[in-house]
Structure 1
Amino acid sequence: MRHRRLALIDMGTNTFHLLIVELPEPSHQQPVTLLRTKVGVRLGEGGISKGEIAPAAFERALHTLVGFKEEIELHQVTDVRATATSAMRVTRNGPALAQAIFEQTGIRVEVIPGEREAELIAKGVRRAVPLGAQPHLIMDIGGGSVEFIIADATTIFWKQSFEIGAQRLLDKFFPDPSGVFPPEAVAAEQQYLAEVLAPLAAAVQEFRPVGVVGASGSFDSLADMQLGQLRTEAELPPSTELALSSFQTSYQQLLSLTHAQRVALPGILPMRADMLVVASVLIDFVLRITGITHLQTSAYALKEGLLAEMLEQ
């Protein structure tokens, strides 16, 4: 009898992820991971703030999906689920990209709304971090959108997706990412966040989360900076404790360096060197409005949430 093999594709605004698992028989056992990989596609680069996917990014996305299709065939996958988020949600030519992917690979891409994205992220994070009985603030900083969820191990109390991802913040506040991020740009981003994230501030007052769980590339990078080395997707543990002092040190360091110096830091992917600056301003803002001092990362997010959902069925 052939085992069921699932391929889960998460097409984010910065990064495309592919997870291939085998579902064991009997089904109450844990799925076995066969492949976990990611590609920095930067789908939002050069266009997301204008409401379109730029031609080069469009090509990178297609090329990546053709590569994923090869892996899927190689692993004799029986079911494929592909989801796309902010960049394909809000761009004029997002539907054209979904169509081109289908024509070239046969993979059907499901473009999901922000609320659904938040729900799946929470389900994925719960597989990595035991949230227990106290509410935690889960945040996922994508390139296009940022999801915030207040949840414990069983209940989602509040969730919202905001179109303020790192690529958008970069376009808006960091016109010359080759240099140092100036104090006035930090202040401008903070002021903008205070306006846009008013619903988050209200939810935090109401539900009083005790810790922050960060699920996204930016948090992985900060954990790598804490360790002083860049880890591959396969080397990342499900969850890492991020010391507040380590975050603050990394944040100050990122603010004081040029692009070339940021890229040279141990633990930094070149693709993230600039986004991490605007993302860190966002993390710092959230820590300040919540007063939270306990930080954890989750290597699991949307695609693991999809897996969790499929296992429930």
Structure 2
Amino acid sequence: MRIRKFGAIDIGSNAIRLLVANVIEEENKEPKFKKSSLVRVPVRLGQDVFMNGEISKINIDRMTKAMKSYRLLMDVHGVEMYMACATSAMRDAKNGAAVVERIKKKADINIEIIDGKREAEIIASTDLHNVIEKEKDYLYVDVGGGSTELTIFSSGKIKTSRSFQIGTVRLLNEMITNDDWKEVEKWIKRNTKDLKRLSLIGSGGNINKLHKMSGTAIGEPLSFIYLNAQYQFLQSLTYEQRISELGLNPDRADVIIPATRIYLSACKWSGAQKIFVPKIGLADGIIKTLFFESSKKLQKGTNILNV
């Protein structure tokens, strides 16, 4: 048996996450991926970028401190390799490249700013095969603070995917137009019109929280009817009530409503009545990507640098 440790840093528009995972390798067996640690800090970069076009000095400082702590945590865990990916907010920030240079200098962490297509590819490399049945069709919806990644799975394979600039933080700041919504609607309807028995697969912190709040067993889907009822219920509560009565974190209590709206819209436009919620996301995809790419290099005899 061989146990390897990998680190994944997901720099999103609403929060920054560090996932440390163990990969257990045994001869003649599929590798097993086990979460060792997950740390999330609510540095809302999207609030800066989508309103002012760049990351503020305050959040640059917060982000730098978070990266320094993540570097130390990876060292303590004995992480072999890591990858840090920044998504929508950093893509749009005028000072994104300067922030990347600062983090490299101050925290010794290399950040890769990835586009929507690359983000969707990494997410799709996760354990979706445990959810997807070849005879069924799926619309995969990953909702973030700055963007939503959509992927169509048919006959067990990716049919098409696209990233849209519709996210929870953008919606909170009323930055999404009717034309933006219509573009997503047209894309979904066009790519799902010939698909039957289609279900939704949802990923992201908000849909995971909704699934947990429902009391639904792990692996069992949410229904469209439940999600719609929950959306109405959440809207009936004040921000403070969602924190005090539902126990939501302050940085979750506001974005959960626009996130639910996105999932519901995707269900309506695709005709999906069920929403499967596997606990996967960009960080999980990064771990898989690191492991399989490093394994290929090892097989070719290429030297791999540790973190």
Aligned to 1:231: none
Partner of 1:178: none
Whether 2:204 is the aligned partner of 1:224: answer: no
Q: TM-score, normalised by structure 1?
A: 0.83
Q: Give unmatched runs, 5+ long, in structure 2.
A: 297-307
Q: Report Cα offsets for 1:26-52 as digits up to 9, x if no partner.
A: 474313432223222211123323321
Range with greater deviation from structure 2 (41-50 or 115-124): 41-50
Q: Is the 8 A contact 1:190 1:282 kept in 2?
A: no
Query: How does the TM-score come out when normalised to structure 2?
Result: 0.85
CA RMSD for the aligned pairs?
2.6
SS in 2 for 1:24: strand
1:240–1:298: 8 Å Cα contact kept in structure 2?
no
Stretch of structure 1 that moved more, 79-88 or 298-307: 298-307
| Whole-angstrom distance in 2 between the partners of 1:156 and 1:23 | 26
Which of these residues, 90, 105, 108, is aligned with residue 106 of structure 1?
Answer: 108
Amino acid at match of 1:67: S
Q: Which has the higher mean CA deviation after the structures are superposed, 83-92 or 264-273?
A: 264-273
Equivalent pair of 2:87/2:115 in contact (CA under 8 Å): yes
Give distance in 1, aligned partners of 2:8 and 2:112. 12
Aligned equivalent of 2:250: 270
The aligned residue for residue 291 of structure 1 is 271
1:120 Cα deviation after fit: 1.3
| 1:83 counterpart residue number | 85
Report if the CA contact (8 A) 2:53-2:93 is conserved: yes
**CA separation in 1, counterparts of 2:185 and 2:53?**
22
**1:69 aligned partner, one-letter code:** R
Q: Equivalent residue for 1:11? A: 11
Contact 1:10–1:83 (CA<8 Å) still a contact in 2? yes
Asked if the contact 1:243/1:295 (under 8 Å) is kept, the reply is yes
Report the alpha carbon displacement of residue 169 of structure 1 after superposing the two structures with TM: 0.9
Residue of structure 1 in register with 2:289 after alignment: 309
Q: Distance in 2 between matches of 1:89 and 1:140?
A: 17
1:102–1:256 CA distance, 2 compared to 1 (3 A): same
With over 3 angstroms needed to count, the CA separation of the structure-2 counterparts of 1:266 and 1:212, relative to structure 1, is same
Q: Rate the CA distance shift 1:115–1:62 in 2: closer, same or farther, 3 A.
A: same
Equivalent-residue separation in structure 1 for 2:163 and 2:130 (angstroms): 21
Give the Cα separation in 1 of the matches to 2:16 and 2:2.
Answer: 28
* 1:215 Cα deviation after fit: 0.3
Provide Cα deviations, 1:53-103, integer angstroms capped at 9, x if missing partner: 223322222121111111101112121111111111111011111111111
Q: 1:145 to 1:61 in 2, by over 3 A?
A: same
In structure 1, what is the equivalent of residue 47 of structure 2? 45
Counterparts of residues 171-182 of structure 1 (less than 5 Å): 171-172=173-174
Give the equivalent residue in structure 2 for 1:134: 136
**Structure 1 pair 284–246 and aligned structure 2 pair: CA distance change class (3 A):** same
| Superimposed CA distance per residue, residues 8-29 of structure 1 (whole angstroms, 9 cap, x where no aligned partner) | 1111111222121233344743
1:225, 1:267 within 8 Å by CA — same for their partners in 2? Answer: no
Q: 1:129 deviation in Å?
A: 2.7
What whole-Å deviation, never above 9, does each CA across 1:164-218 have from its counterpart, x for those lacking one?
1110111116xxxxxxxxxxxxxx9667412444222211224456110110011
1:116-165 deviation digits (Å, cap 9, x = unpaired): 10111122251663444422111011001110011257411010001111
Aligned-residue identity in percent: 29
SS in 2 for 1:172: coil
Using the TM superposition, name which of 258-267 and 271-280 deviates more. 258-267
> Paired residue for 2:121, among 108, 119, 122?
119
| AA in 1 matched with 2:123 | I
The amino acid across from 1:281 in the alignment is R
> Distance between the aligned counterparts of 1:219 and 1:65, measured in 2?
26
* CA deviation string 1:250-275 (max 9, x = no partner): 10012222221222342522212121
